[in-house]
Structure 1
């Protein structure tokens, strides 16, 4: 019989993906981890039915959460990735030749091993990059305790339930702020604001206490239902979200990038927010 993986993350809404072939399944605590093949999205990884990553559209999420802060900053040498065990964020960061060191903190080494074996297209060899410092530790504890500082911090977290919940707290954001170099940028994934508005408002409220400038930008990822995703953007340099398209294009060209979703024009447009999203920011 055909199996369907059903996601019920949002109250009153369910979405299902057909699993033509289940490649891996095991319980994780009280949750169910399943890797399967779908005719539209290729290999898909779901935790308790909630889609984590797909081969077909992961590039949108990873490109936008990486290239927007790095190209807005323009002189990034050091990057911290919190989470991101599938390696997609790492893949995009190491494409920037100016980056000298990437520290990636993943709580579960098994996630990295699993992803390299079953989702090798996502990392595309990035774990072999000599600039990588892979740390297996709790991301919140690492950010609290480390003495290192970074130009950009990327929080590639799951939704704020279970182990990922701590990465959405005021304490975590405060520690992350202290690990940024002057003019640095903190970016976060904040779900789909049409369905998860409180998540975005909570992050923006914390950012408002920590940064001279805080906002979010948007990108549409097909498998994350409910409209565009929001990415939190916090910095003390108010000019960074208004970098000219011509400047972004020059930085993009010098970096030698080739992307499938990100463009300098999309970068600038992503900060133009619909009214309902701006209302969530205003509420913060």
Structure 2
């Protein structure tokens, strides 16, 4: 009989994934880390039986948190990633030849080494790109005194529980604003609004106080269960209003071939259903 991994994120609602082959299982004083093979989603990484990423659908999450701000900006040279130890976010940012420098701040060096061993298909060699500067440090501490300023800042955090909690504070967002170049863009992971509405509301309340243009956009990632996922958006520039023709030109010039992102999806992602609009402060 096939074993099932029952996700424990919500007390009243759960998804289950079959463990077709268990590849790694280690329990520490703080968390239980598993990697297993699922015949639909490929390799699956979980922390305390909560899905973090999968080989099969990670491209949606990573593409939408990178290509939307980079192509909306149009001239991003320096990008900062907070988190992203599996290397998937760096992989997508580095597809843009126009990006000169990427700083990636990961709190746990072990996550990077673990991902290189068990999830190499996520990074696809990104850690070897000379444009990547990997910094092992607390992202909140780094943001207080960053190494220069950035055109795009991507916060690839876990949910606001435990070590990831400080990445959802007003203070952190204020420091992030100070680290942006004029017209720079901050994007964040903000959970599934249908079941994690407070997470989105709290982030956007801070964005509203700090930035001229703030809001969120959506994408559906199958293993982030409960509906479409929200990504926070904040800038003092006009990048959200870039027209479709300009996006298409930038996309063609970038020469990338994503599996989810298109300029049309980019524009449509900012169209919010009513229940999400009600979560905006």
Distance 1:77 1:29 in 2: 41
Kindly indicate whether residue 186 of structure 2 is the aligned counterpart of residue 189 of structure 1: no
Specify the alignment match of 1:161 in structure 2: 161
1:163-207 per-position Cα deviation (integer Å, ceiling 9, x unaligned) = 111101111111111000000000000000000000000000000
How far residue 153 of structure 1 moved from its aligned partner, in angstroms, is: 0.2
Partner of 2:223: 223
**Is there any run of 5+ residues in structure 2 with no aligned partner, and where?**
none
Counterpart CA distance in 2 for 1:251 and 1:128 is 26
Tell me the distance in 2 between the aligned counterparts of 1:208 and 1:109. 34
Partner-residue secondary structure (3-state), 2:217: strand
Are residues 1:110 and 2:106 paired?
no
**In the alignment, which residue of structure 1 is the partner of 2:96?**
96
Paired residues for 1:138-153 under 5 Å: 138-153=138-153
- For residues 33-85 of structure 1, give each alpha carbon's deviation from its aligned partner in whole angstroms, at most 9, with x where no partner exists: 10000010000000001000100000000000000000000000000000000
* Residue of structure 1 in register with 2:236 after alignment: 236
Which residue does 2:17 correspond to in 1? 17
Cα distance in structure 2, aligned partners of 1:14 and 1:213: 35
TM-score calculated relative to the size of structure 1? 0.97
Partner secondary structure for residue 4 of structure 2: strand
Whole-angstrom distance in 1 between the partners of 2:163 and 2:216: 24
The aligned counterpart of 1:62 is: 62
In 2, distance between residues paired with 1:31 and 1:106? 17
How many angstroms apart in 2 are the aligned matches of 1:28 and 1:158? Answer: 18
* Residue number in structure 1 paired with 2:42: 42
Counterparts of 1:11 and 1:212, CA distance in 2: 37
| Residue equivalent to 2:176 | 176
Work out the CA distance in 2 between the residues paired with 1:87 and 1:147: 20
Shift of 1:148: 1.3
TM-score (structure 2 length as normaliser): 0.98
Give, in whole Å, the separation in 1 of the partners of 2:234 and 2:8. 30
Separation in 2, partners of 1:40, 1:217: 27
Give the deviation of 1:248 after TM superposition.
0.5
Structure 2: distance between partners of 1:157 and 1:28: 21
1:146 and 1:84 map into 2 onto residues whose CA distance is 17
The size of the alignment, in residue pairs, is: 281
User: Residues of 2 paired with 1:52 and 1:117: CA distance?
Assistant: 16
SS in 2 for 1:258: coil
> Which residue is 1:254 aligned to?
253
Measured after TM superposition, the shift of residue 30 of structure 1 is 3.2
Secondary structure of the corresponding residue to residue 105 of structure 2 = strand
- TM-superposed CA distance for 1:16, in Å, is 1.0
Deviation at 1:147, TM superposition (A): 4.5
Q: Which residue of 1 aligns with 2:270?
A: 271
Report the CA distance between 1:11 and its aligned residue: 2.8
Q: Give me the whole-angstrom Cα distance separating, in 2, the residues matched to 1:81 and 1:146.
A: 12
Give the Cα–Cα distance (whole angstroms) in 2 for the partners of residues 174 and 19 of structure 1: 42
